Structure 1
Amino acid sequence: MIRRCYVILCMLMFFLTINSQTVNQLIRVGNKQYSQKDYVHAEISYRKVLNKDNNNILACYNLARTLQAQNKDSEAKILYEKVIKLKEASSARVSSYYNLGTLLQKEKNYGGAIETYKNVLRIDPNHNKARYNLELCKKQQQQKKKHSAGGRNKSNNNQKKNQKRNGDNKNGESNQAKNRNSMSRDNAQQLLNAAMQQEKETQERLSKAMKQPSDRKLDKNW
C-alpha cells in the first residue's frame, strides 16, 4: 500500500515537472519570438501558457507587451491591470503601471496617465522615465484645457457676432420700412397739397370770372 502511494506521488510530481517545463519552454520561445518582432507567434506562445496557468505573471505581462506592440491597446490594458492586482507581482507591477500610463497618455487621458505614473514613483521613486512622462502629461493636460477654453471663447464670440449681425440686419430692415412709410406719407401729403392748391386756383378763377361785367347787351322787353 505504501509502495503504491509512493508510485502515485512520483507520477504526480513527474507530470507537474513536465507541465512546468512546458510552461517555461513556451515563455522562452515567446520571448525569442518577441525579440525578433514576430509578435503574432509570440502572442500564440504566451496564450498557450495562460491556458495552462491563467495567473502566470510573466505570461500575462509579456502578452500585454506583445499586444501593445500590435496596437491592441484595449486587451493590453486589461492584462496590465491584471498583473498589477496579482500579489506575487513586484518588478512586473512597476513595469505594468508604466506601460499602462503610456497607453493612457496615447489616448490623451492625461488625468489617468498622471495618476498611473504617480503609482510608479510611489513604488520606485528613481524611475526617471515615469517622472519625465508625468511632467509631460501635466503640460499636455494644461494645453488641452487652454485649447478647450479657447474653443469655447471663440464659439461664444462667433455667437455674439452673429447675434449682432442679425440685430443690425433687423434694425436695417426696420429703418428701411420706416423710410418707406415716411416716403409714402410724404408723397400722399404732397399729392393732397397739390390737389388743394389746384382746387384753390380753380375757385379763384371762377370768382374773378363772376365779378367781371358782361360785354353782351340784353334785348329789351317790349
Structure 2
Amino acid sequence: MKTLLNTLIFLGMFLAGLEIVAQKDSIAMQRSARKLVREGNALYERQKFTDASVAYKKALNNSAYYDKASYNLGNALYQDKNYQEAIPQYELTAKTATDKFTKAEAYHNIGNAMMETKNYQGAVDAYKNSLRNNPNDDETRYNLAVAQKMLDKQNQDNKDNKDNKDNKDKKDKKDQNQDKKEGEDKDKKDDKNKDGEGDKDKKDQNQDKKEDEKNDKQKPKPQQGKMSPEQIKQLLESLQNEEKKTQQKMNAQKAKGDKLKQEKDW
C-alpha cells in the first residue's frame, strides 16, 4: 500500500513538472511571436512587404491564434498585391476580434481586396458587414456605393453577352438552314441541267450578267459627304461627354478606401 502511494506521489510530481515545462515553452513561444511581429512591423514601415510577410508567418508558427500577426500579414500580402492570400487573414481577424471597430476594419479591407480581384458581389457583402459593425464610417459607405455600381455594370455586361450569344446562335441556325436549302436547290438545278436544259440556264445567266453590268454602269458614283457646322458641334460634344464618363469611372476606381492599419505590439 505504501509503495502504491509513493508511486502515485511520484507520478503527480512528474506530471506537474511536465505542465510547468509546457507553460514555459508556451510563454517562450509567445515572446518569440511578439518579437517577430515587431520585426515584421519594422520591415512593413520600410515597405519591404515580402520580408514582412515572412516575419508574420513565423510569428504565427509560434502562436497560431495571434490576431496581430494574422491581421498584419493580411496587410503585407495586400500591399504586395497578393489579394487572394490576404483575404483569409482578414477573415480570421473579423471572426476572432472582440471589438466592433477591429471587425469593421477587417471587413473593410476584405472589401478592398475583393474589389481588386473584381469580385464585386463579395466586396458589396464585405462593406455591408463593415457598416454593421461601424455604421458611421463614411469611407466604407462610399466604397459600398462604388462596389454596387461596379456590380450592376458587371451584371448588365453579362446579360448583354448572353443576349448576344443567343442572337448569334439563332443566326447560325438560320444560316445553316439557308445553306441547306441552297444546297437542295443546287442539286435540283444540277438534275435539271442533266435533262438537257443546261444551255438555257447558261444563256439566262449570261443575260443576267449583262443586265447587272448595265445596272452597275448606271449607278451614280458615291460622293464624299461634308459635315455641317451643327454636325461638327454635336460630334465634339459627344466626344467631350465620353471623356467625362471615362474620367468619372477612373475616379471611382481610385476611390477605394485605404484602411490598412497595422496592429502594433510594442
TM normalised by structure 1 equals 0.67
- Structure 1 match to 2:104: 94
Query: How far apart, CA to CA, are the structure 2 residues paired with 1:157 and 1:15?
Result: 69
Taking the TM superposition and a 5 Å limit, the aligned residue runs for 1:111-150 are: 111-150=121-160
Q: Which has the higher contact order (CA 8 A, sep 6+)?
A: 2
SS of 2:64's equivalent in the other structure is coil
Q: Confirm or deny that 1:59 pairs with 2:105.
A: no
Correspondence 1:50 to 2:60 = yes
In the TM superposition, 1:28-43 aligns within 5 A as 28-43=38-53
> How far apart, CA to CA, are the structure 2 residues paired with 1:126 and 1:20?
36
1:126 is paired with a residue whose SS is: coil
The corresponding residue for 2:172 is 162
User: Quick check: which has more Rg, 1 or 2?
Assistant: 1
SS in 2 for 1:55: coil
1:71 aligns with 2:81: yes
SS of match in other structure, 1:142: helix
Q: Give how far 1:116 is off.
A: 0.8
TM-score by length of 2: 0.57
Q: Contact between 1:98 and 1:117, CA under 8 Å: does it hold in 2?
A: yes
1:106 alignment counterpart: 116
Quick one: structure 1 residues 157 and 44, their matched pair in 2 at CA, closer, same or farther if it must change by over 3 Å?
Answer: closer
Partner of 2:210: none
**C-alpha displacement at 1:28, in angstroms?**
3.0
Compared CA separation, residues 59 and 168, structure 1 to 2 (3 A): same
Relative distance call for 1:168 and 1:59 in structure 2 (3 A) is: same
CA distance in 1, matches of 2:145, 2:83: 23
Query: Could you list the runs of 5+ residues in structure 1 that have no partner in the other structure?
Result: 1-12, 188-222
The runs of 5 or more residues in structure 2 that have no matched partner are: 1-22, 198-266
1:212 aligns to what? none
Q: Which amino acid counterpart does residue 172 of structure 1 have in structure 2?
A: E
The CA deviation at 1:169 is 2.1
The aligned amino acid for 2:62 is K
Aligned residues: 178
1:167-187 CA-partner distances (Å, limit 9, x unpaired): 222222222333344455565
The answer on whether the counterparts of 1:83 and 1:89 sit within 8 Å (CA) in structure 2 is no
